[in-house]
């Protein structure tokens, strides 16, 4: 999969998480392509979802396999999110672009630079927070103990009660921790001050890429101490030291105006330096045309 430029959400590790959450997972592969994802089998609609997939040298080569899966499981459509930005083959196949599930745009940082080069790419604000972390009494640590996910959940509850983004459910994060952390596929980073956690972030590692997956911070103490930037900086340096080539910040909204829900964390991520990576977005390939059309019409009401 990784040789085809695949994403962590197409990995067997991620499918273990899906199964732990009670999802039925399908997969298929050939020499030049591979895909995997959960089935959504409610009465209506019924579909297969491939987050950031398929991975393929030629996307067109996957369509026969996807059509067979749709037929065998009586699906209304297949929802895909190819990593390519070329959508002409999708339109030619009759696919319909829909509102994104996973972010269409991400921000990536090349870890094959020296530490000095990485530091030079930081914004002045991030550089100041990183340099001041020790003076402010911040202690940073990393763990692969699944029980530590409760730290992230606690900060998530505090942030949500203060009006922050709620994120995924506790059940979801506990499944991630149980399936991914013991084997090193996921690592939790924590920033503490006076023995109390003030920020935490969970990352995924897969074939040379570290993904910045989930984060939460104390909205008062964490913000006052500027804990988030040094925590992510530690994640970046550790990934570089481990030989990873890329740090993927996962999702941004370029040009988001003030007040946009993604504006703040987009600025935060871009302030580490790096470049924008745009993908195809989310598309649906109809299998049962009438049912798919009815589903699309119902969604517009």
The DSSP secondary-structure symbol of 73 reads: T
Domains of the chain: 2-104+279-299 (3.40.630.30), 105-277 (3.40.630.30)
Taken in order 85, 88, 94, 96, is the CA torsion positive or negative? Answer: positive
Q: Which helix (H) or strand (E) holds 69?
A: helix 63-72
The DSSP secondary-structure symbol of 145 reads: -
Token pair belonging to 153? 């959940």
Q: Which helix (H) or strand (E) holds 39?
A: strand 33-41
Q: Is the peptide bond before 54 cis (omega within 30 degrees of 0)?
A: yes
Report pLDDT for 86.
Answer: 78
* Contacts of 258 by beta carbon, 8 Å cutoff, 6+ apart: none
Strand partners, 183: none
Report pLDDT for 301.
Answer: 42
Q: What is the pTM of this model?
A: 0.94
Mean pLDDT, 10 residues at a time, over the chain (301 residues)?
Answer: 76 97 96 96 94 94 97 97 87 94 97 98 98 98 98 94 78 98 98 98 97 96 97 98 98 91 95 96 96 89 42
Report pLDDT for 163.
Answer: 67
């Amino acid at each position: 999969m990784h040789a085809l430029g695949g994403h962590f959400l197409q990995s067997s590790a991620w499918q273990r998480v899906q199964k732990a959450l009670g999802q039925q997972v399908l997969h298929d592969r050939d020499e030049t392509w591979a895909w995997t994802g959960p089935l959504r089998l409610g009465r209506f609609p019924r579909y297969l979802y491939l987050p950031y997939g398929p991975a393929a040298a030629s996307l067109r080569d996957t369509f026969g396999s996807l059509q067979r899966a749709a037929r065998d499981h009586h699906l209304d459509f297949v929802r895909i999110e190819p990593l390519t930005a070329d959508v002409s083959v999708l339109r030619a196949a009759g696919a319909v672009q829909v509102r994104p599930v996973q972010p269409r745009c991400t921000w990536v940082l090349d870890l094959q630079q020296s530490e000095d080069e990485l530091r030079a790419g930081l914004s002045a604000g991030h550089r100041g927070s990183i340099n001041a972390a020790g003076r402010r009494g911040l202690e940073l640590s990393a763990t692969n103990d699944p029980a530590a996910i409760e730290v992230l959940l606690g900060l998530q509850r505090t942030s949500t009660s203060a009006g922050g983004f709620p994120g995924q459910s506790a059940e979801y994060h506990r499944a991630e921790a149980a399936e991914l952390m013991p084997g090193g596929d996921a690592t939790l980073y924590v920033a503490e001050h006076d023995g109390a956690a003030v920020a935490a972030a969970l990352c995924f590692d897969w074939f040379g890429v570290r993904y910045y997956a989930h984060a939460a911070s104390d909205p008062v103490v964490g913000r006052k101490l500027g804990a988030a930037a040094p925590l992510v900086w530690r994640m970046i340096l550790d990934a570089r030291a481990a030989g990873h080539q890329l740090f993927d910040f996962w999702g941004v909204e370029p040009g988001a105006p003030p007040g946009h829900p993604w504006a703040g964390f987009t600025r935060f991520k871009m302030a580490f330096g790096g470049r924008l990576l745009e993908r195809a977005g989310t598309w649906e390939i109809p299998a049962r045309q009438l049912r798919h059309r009815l589903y699309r019409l119902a969604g517009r009401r």
